[in-house]
Amino acid sequence: MKRIAFVTLGCDKNLVDSEVVLGKLLVRGYNAVVPPEEAEWVFLNTCAFIRPSCEETEAWIRRLVRLKKKDPRKKIVVLGCYVERFRERAASQYRDVDFWVGVHEIFRLPDIISSGKRGVFLGSSPSIYTHTDPRILSTPPHYAYLKIAEGCLHRCSFCLIPALRGPLRSRPISSVVEEARLLEKSGVREIILVAQDLTSYGLDLYRQRSLGKLLWALGEALQEDTWIRLLYLSPEGIDDTLIEAVASIPQVVKYLDVPLQHVVPGILRRMHRFSSFEEIRKRLEKIRDCIPGVALRTTFMVGFPGEEEEHFLRLLDFVRAFRFERMGAFMYSDEEGTFSFTLEPKVPEEVKERRYAALMEAQRAVMESVHRTYHGMTLEVLLDEGPLWSERGPFFLGRTAKDAPEVDCRVTVWARGGNLRRGQRVPVRITATSAYELEGEVL
């Protein structure tokens, strides 16, 4: 029995890769998953999107190297985006790492380590997993991420993803549907579709945007009470066909994650994003008109090169006026290898921090206002964690259909007896609200 540890950093798409690699390892005899301190083999799936991600990866590598110095028999395998970005430079800096496996070779990882040949393995043939690959879920058993495509067609000026992950590769509809069936059969109640941009799905394989067609196929294949959630939709790719599918298919939760990054045309042009924000705004309004009760989530970036105070204030005004149901934000990170790295003028770090804080405060006020309208309402809540205990008694932590795991709001659900269990969906009467949390009792 070979004891292994698997650490995943970064996004949910990385998590899917880790689950597939773990499945491949377990069928090859690596069949005891333990903490890094106890493992014979430690696998670190990395992120290198921005500098803080690289720093987290490097901190983990140093930690694992310290463990190896205590036990020289331990093997360290670093894989994923950090390897793809820094390549031999990383290998020369951290010589105690045994294997460096790039993005395009990770599904060959069992063969690579079985060869016993230490080194850097990058590969040049981008691939994507299929429903026939073994996969071990690491999420709670009632929800799972399903990657429908890999790579990206877009060339945003601030983003390294196309260089790291390669061009768009869509999975066939039949493969996605079969994996969804398998997940549902295993007890998954919420299937979260992910890709760098879901709306690009099918452009390579079918020569047209095919997300709507995929959703209809999933709707026919899955039970009516299974949730399908969509993460990462480029706004320019949301067409009438997709809007109709989201509005009509009962399994698709009325929640769309549409990263905008900014609202000022000049900044968007420098970002190499969509050309007409006015058209995008109209599309968002159409989504609200056609999908009653939809929750729109977005992400904005502050501090992009050339962003002046006037630009930021226009963004701030838009956030206050449009009232997104969910929103995230981050500060621009100047990354060597991106086009935006060459742009001037740079925004000072202290200005970025001030703008970020102001934007999040504006959204907090929006969220408080939105959540106050929920007081006294009965909402369906998916129980993610529990039972937990406090002086008031047993409770669960859960989410509404308007909330994705990890990134959105949560609901504290007081159990008051009954046979509640994690993964169950229950009606909850909301008794208290705040900006990012709700509280209620099971009916």
> With left for phi above 0 and alpha for psi between -120 and 50, is residue 10 left, alpha or beta?
left
Adjacency order of strands within the sheet including 227-230: 143-147, 190-194, 227-230, 252-257, 295-302, 326-331
Full DSSP string of 214-263: HHHHHHHHS-TT-EEEE----GGG--HHHHHHHHH-TTEEEEEE---B--
- Our CA angle for 199, 240, 193, nearest 5°, is 30
Please state, in angstroms and rounded to a whole number, the distance separating the CA atoms of residues 240 and 327.
Answer: 24
CA separation (Å) from 136 to 26, 55, 118?
9, 28, 26
Please state, in angstroms and rounded to a whole number, the distance separating the CA atoms of residues 261 and 41.
Answer: 40
Whole-model pTM?
Answer: 0.95
Residues 6 or more apart whose Cβ sits within 8 Å of residue 306: 266, 267, 270, 343, 344, 345
Token pair for 237: 């790719």
What is the largest distance, in Å, between two alpha-carbon atoms of the chain?
A: 63
Please state, in angstroms and rounded to a whole number, the distance separating the CA atoms of residues 236 and 426.
Answer: 36
Please state, in angstroms and rounded to a whole number, the distance separating the CA atoms of residues 149 and 127.
Answer: 10
SS3 category, 162: helix
Q: Residue 372: is it exposed, middle or buried by C-beta count within 10 angstroms (0-12/13-18/19+)? A: exposed
Residues 6 or more apart whose Cβ sits within 8 Å of residue 114: 28
> 301, 360, 298: which is closest to 334 by C-alpha?
301
Query: In the prediction, which pLDDT does 126 show?
Result: 80
Is residue 205 a contact partner of residue 155, using CB atoms and an 8 Å limit?
no
Cis peptide before 172 (omega within 30 of 0): no
Residues 6 or more apart whose Cβ sits within 8 Å of residue 220: none
Is 409 a known ligand-binding residue?
A: no
Token pair for 368: 């408080």
SS (H, E, C) 326-364: EEEEEECCCCCCCHHHHCCCCCCHHHHHHHHHHHHHHHH
Which residue ranges form the domains of the chain, and what is each CATH number? 3-121 (3.40.50.12160), 143-372 (3.80.30.20), 378-442 (2.40.50.140)
Is 290 a known ligand-binding residue?
A: no
Query: In the prediction, which pLDDT does 1 show?
Result: 66
Query: In the prediction, which pLDDT does 431 show?
Result: 98
Is 159 a known ligand-binding residue?
A: yes
Rounded to the nearest 5°, which phi and psi values hold at 279? -65, -40
- Our CA angle for 271, 275, 279, nearest 5°, is 130
**Residue the block writes with tokens 């159990």:** 415
Rounded to the nearest 5°, which phi and psi values hold at 431? -115, -15
Give pLDDT tens digits for 65-86. Answer: 999 999 999 999 999 999 999 9
Rounded to the nearest 5°, which phi and psi values hold at 145? -90, 140
**Residue the block writes with tokens 């099918």:** 202
Which residues of the chain, if any, have pLDDT below 70? Answer: 1, 275
Q: How many CB atoms lie within 10 A of CB 106?
A: 26
